[in-house]
């Protein structure tokens, strides 16, 4: 698969095209490995559309126990409005048959949001936070410590409570690409965060105060002078907004999290875009 050409053709917004063109060799290889990992863990959920030998669409979905997630969905601009996206969605939706809940992290593209709404999903608007962390604001002595493989089952238990299914191999893949696992357990409560250079990828806990501590620890994990990013902040996650503003990051609107069925409370929870 010509990953670079696919990425470029699907990057409809100028800002996204610029980001794709500016990717480092390491980021390109990480993208390649992401596709390979989907094919290893969920081959029946991965589909492409072709036109005269060229890839014009891609859809990748994953199943984690009772939860189905659409991880990647994109259609080349030249093929939009021709039924390519609808057929791709129908194919990947078949992989989710028998699950009790489904989730999608949508772009801000009007056609994407329309497709998900018409498919019966409820759209929850989100915010993205970006900026340099005011390191003097980081609370001292956070009750958070470095996790390892022995904590993956604890993370799976938290996931089942919050989202109806564990991340499983998705967390393992994140940890294999430079992310760190942070954990916290006290008073019968438990939680974890996956973070990379001060940008939280997932934060999940059974108690809101613990989730706040984990988010602060994830932000603190970055280096001074390097921007942090936190995405997919829904209206219910006020605890995230409180921490973000105190840390000095700026907020802007972003695409919605789309939910169908009953995945769980999704609180307190900051999801990953690819794995939700």
**pLDDT computed for residue 84 by the predictor:** 85
Residue 138 and residue 200 in one domain: yes
For residue 122, tell me if it sits in a domain. no
Mean pLDDT of 248-253: 98
**pLDDT computed for residue 144 by the predictor:** 97
**pLDDT computed for residue 28 by the predictor:** 73
**pLDDT computed for residue 273 by the predictor:** 92
For residue 94, tell me if it sits in a domain. yes
Tens digit of each residue's pLDDT (9 = 90 or more) over 77-129: 777 777 888 899 999 999 999 999 999 999 998 888 998 999 999 999 999 99
Tens digit of each residue's pLDDT (9 = 90 or more) over 138-172: 999 999 999 999 999 999 999 999 999 999 999 99
For residue 120, tell me if it sits in a domain. no
For residue 112, tell me if it sits in a domain. no
pLDDT at position 3 over 50: no
Domain CATH for 93: 3.40.630.30
Task: Choose the most confident range, by mean pLDDT, from 32-41, 102-111, 191-200.
Answer: 191-200
Picking from 26-30, 135-139, 214-218, 268-272, which range would have the lowest pLDDT averaged per residue? 26-30
Residue 64 and residue 164 in one domain: no
For residue 75, tell me if it sits in a domain. yes
Mean pLDDT of 26-36: 78
> pLDDT averaged over the chain?
90
Q: Give the residues across from 54 on adjacent strands.
A: 51
Residue 135 and residue 95 in one domain: no
Residue 65 and residue 146 in one domain: no
**pLDDT computed for residue 45 by the predictor:** 96
Q: Residue 2: pLDDT band by 50, 70, 90 thresholds?
A: very low
Q: What percent of the chain has pLDDT over 90?
A: 74
Q: Residue 197: pLDDT band by 50, 70, 90 thresholds?
A: very high
Q: Is the peptide bond before 258 cis (omega within 30 degrees of 0)?
A: no
Mean pLDDT of 42-51: 93
Exposed (0-12), middle (13-18) or buried (19+): which is 41, by Cβ within 10 Å?
middle
Kindly give, in sequence order, each residue whose CB lies less than 8 Å from that of residue 111, ignoring residues fewer than 6 positions away: 80, 85
Rounded CA-CA distance 103/271 in Å is 11
> Which CA distances in Å does 21 have to 6, 14, 32, 135, 172?
12, 11, 15, 31, 28
For residue 223, tell me if it sits in a domain. yes
Residue 192 and residue 230 in one domain: yes
**pLDDT computed for residue 15 by the predictor:** 60
For residue 114, tell me if it sits in a domain. no
pLDDT at position 1 over 50: no
Residue 91 and residue 155 in one domain: no
pLDDT at position 27 over 90: no
Identify the domain containing residue 19 by its residue range.
3-99
Domain CATH for 147: 3.40.630.90
Instruction: Tell me how many domains the chain contains.
Output: 2
């Amino acid at each position: 698969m010509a990953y670079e050409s696919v990425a470029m053709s699907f990057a409809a917004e100028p800002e996204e095209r610029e980001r794709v063109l500016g990717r480092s060799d390491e980021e390109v290889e990480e993208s390649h490995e992401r596709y390979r990992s989907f094919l290893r863990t969920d081959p029946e959920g991965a589909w492409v559309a072709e036109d005269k030998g060229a890839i014009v669409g891609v859809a990748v979905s994953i199943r984690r126990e009772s939860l189905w997630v659409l991880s990647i969905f994109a259609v080349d601009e030249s093929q939009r409005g021709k039924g390519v996206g609808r057929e791709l969605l129908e194919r990947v939706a078949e992989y989710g048959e028998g699950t009790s809940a489904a989730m999608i992290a949508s772009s801000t593209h009007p056609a994407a949001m329309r497709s998900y709404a018409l498919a019966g999903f409820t759209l929850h608007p989100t915010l993205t936070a970006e900026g340099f962390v005011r390191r003097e604001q980081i609370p001292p002595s956070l009750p958070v410590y470095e996790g390892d493989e022995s904590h993956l089952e604890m993370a799976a238990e938290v996931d089942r409570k919050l989202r109806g299914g564990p991340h499983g191999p998705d967390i393992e893949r994140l940890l294999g690409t430079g992310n760190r696992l942070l954990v916290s357990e006290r008073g019968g409560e438990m939680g974890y965060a996956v973070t990379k250079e001060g940008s939280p990828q997932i934060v999940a806990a059974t108690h809101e105060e613990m989730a706040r501590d984990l988010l602060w620890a994830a932000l603190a994990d970055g280096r001074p002078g390097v921007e942090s990013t936190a995405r997919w902040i829904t209206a219910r996650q006020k605890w995230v907004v409180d921490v973000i503003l105190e840390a000095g990051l700026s907020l802007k609107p972003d695409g919605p999290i789309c939910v169908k069925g009953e995945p769980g409370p999704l609180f307190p929870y900051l999801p990953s875009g690819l794995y939700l």
